[in-house]
Amino acid sequence: MKEALKGNIVHAPVLGELSIVERGYLLLEDGVIAGIEQTLPQGYDGVVRDYGERLILQSFADMHLHAPQYPMLGMGMDLPLMEWLQRYTFRTEARFADLAYARRIYRRLASDLITNGTTRVCMFSSLHTEATWILMEELEKAGVTGYVGKVNMDRNGAPGILEETTEESERETLRWLEGCHFEHIKPILTPRFTPSCSDELMGWLGQLAEERGLYVQSHLSESAGEIELVARLHPECQRYWQTYEKHGLWKDHTLMAHCVHSDAVERQAMKDHNVVVVHCADSNINISSGICPVKKMLQEGLWVTLGSDIAGGAQLPMYRVITTTIRTSKVRQIMDDWKTDFLTVAEGYYLGTTAGHRYFGAGAGFAVGDPLHAVVLDDSDFVEATRPLSVAERFERAMYMTHRHNITAVWSEGRCVVER
Ligand code: GUN
Ligand code: FE
């Protein structure tokens, strides 16, 4: 089926550069991008969806969030990471043994994600197998695509509340993988982080990743207290990343959330192994972890993506996460005595879209041959400006000012999954 979406198209094929086609046509064939044109091809025989003056933007990729922390959104951000986990987080995640509760929360989360334009995710579930399947099913039904992981954690959890034995963790991981047959939501191995996983479990997961060709997601160098604990638990490793590397978990496409305190050596190890940084600016400030040197990472050529890190982060919409990322880069500039640059809006947009979509095999921006992942944004209720705005200005304002109701259509994997 041939379709053409008409509107003001703004995408980011290259870091720091916007590509804009005003009143253009995004051509689709069976949901796959066939081209972007200023005018319709002669004799065009497809269906035209006319979005008028609206903006047609890339949809967002949230590369790190914790689904079972959604109920604690906006609460309990008065403690640093290790204390925050023990006081609030583990208890909240433990609730997901209750499958009726899991269904309600995960249905709400899936709906909130898609209506805010997040069409691709890499997500942590809890350690519960059944609830993880429910999460995957609800995301699939809502039109969200990507990876979900049943969490592995066999030490330093909350014994009797939220912790597995090594044997349970391995057995449940295999059982969980057996039950994953969703079309658009795939499994990813998810050792919570080094303090939560014994060497035996990490080694077993590394082997499983290798045998089954699975990707891995975890956390790295987020906070000072965590880094000290890892150093105590692993005197044999000079740096945190080596606790993953020694078990085969430090490899191409491994997602590492945070990396706030990764030094030059750790950052080089990421680059060398194509490990992906997931920067979570809102979370890093909420639980006082630190200010990540994102601009420096980009200059060093690292693959940096963005995550909401719900519920360390308290903002689910990625357009908010993008602007918080930009603000935080300015805090970093101030901390660095004005020696580093801040992120531009075009850079923030790239990180929240193209950089994440690439993880799933997509090309740059709205690339020909990719199934469409897009949002249509109606900014007509924003305050009247002093003069007519360019599309670039409207785009900038949309990043900062959008509310959910401004997103009037969402396309995910070539399907229109939200329309209002
Ligand atoms: N490190 C280990 N678990 C977590 C978590 O749930 N949230 C964050 N922000 N960091 C973690
Ligand atoms: Fe996290």
Query: Cα–Cα distance between 354 and 375 in angstroms, integer?
Result: 14
What tens digit of pLDDT does each residue of 142-185 get?
Answer: 999 999 999 999 999 999 999 999 999 999 999 999 999 999 99
User: What integer pLDDT is reported at residue 377 of this predicted model?
Assistant: 98
User: φ and ψ at 318, to 5 degrees?
Assistant: -70, -20
User: What integer pLDDT is reported at residue 72 of this predicted model?
Assistant: 98
Going from the Cα of 310 to the center of ligand 2, the distance in angstroms, rounded, reads: 7
User: What integer pLDDT is reported at residue 384 of this predicted model?
Assistant: 97
* Three-class secondary structure of residue 64 per DSSP: strand
Going from the Cα of 66 to the center of ligand 2, the distance in angstroms, rounded, reads: 6
Query: Cα–Cα distance between 241 and 249 in angstroms, integer?
Result: 10
Low-confidence residues in the chain, pLDDT < 50: none
User: What integer pLDDT is reported at residue 252 of this predicted model?
Assistant: 98
Query: Cα–Cα distance between 209 and 345 in angstroms, integer?
Result: 36
**Residues around the ion ligand 2 (C-beta < 5 A):** 257, 309
* Three-class secondary structure of residue 266 per DSSP: helix
Radius of gyration of the CA atoms of the chain, in A: 21
- Ligand 1 nearest-atom number relative to CA 195: 2
Ligand in closest contact with the CA of 217: 2
Query: Cα–Cα distance between 275 and 82 in angstroms, integer?
Result: 24
Prediction pTM value: 0.99
User: What integer pLDDT is reported at residue 314 of this predicted model?
Assistant: 98
Q: Which residues 6+ apart lie within 8 Å of 412 measured at CB? A: 59, 114, 119, 120, 143, 144, 145, 373
User: What integer pLDDT is reported at residue 149 of this predicted model?
Assistant: 99
User: What integer pLDDT is reported at residue 399 of this predicted model?
Assistant: 98
Token pair of 108, please?
A: 């709400």
Burial of residue 380 (CB within 10 Å: 0-12, 13-18, 19+) is: exposed
User: What integer pLDDT is reported at residue 380 of this predicted model?
Assistant: 98
Residue 243, number of CB atoms within 10 A of its CB:
25
Instruction: Verify whether ligand 1 is closer than 6 Å to residue 284 (CB atom).
Output: no
User: What integer pLDDT is reported at residue 127 of this predicted model?
Assistant: 98
Going from the Cα of 26 to the center of ligand 1, the distance in angstroms, rounded, reads: 39
Going from the Cα of 218 to the center of ligand 2, the distance in angstroms, rounded, reads: 8
Question: Which residue has the least CA distance to atom 8 on ligand 1?
Answer: 312
User: What integer pLDDT is reported at residue 415 of this predicted model?
Assistant: 98
User: What integer pLDDT is reported at residue 56 of this predicted model?
Assistant: 99
Q: What is the DSSP string of 355-408?
A: HHHGGGT--SSS-TTSBP-EEEE--TTSPP-SSPPPHHHHHHHHHHH--GGGEE
- Ligand 1 nearest-atom number relative to CA 313: 9
Query: Cα–Cα distance between 53 and 1 in angstroms, integer?
Result: 24
User: What integer pLDDT is reported at residue 309 of this predicted model?
Assistant: 98
Ligand in closest contact with the CA of 89: 1
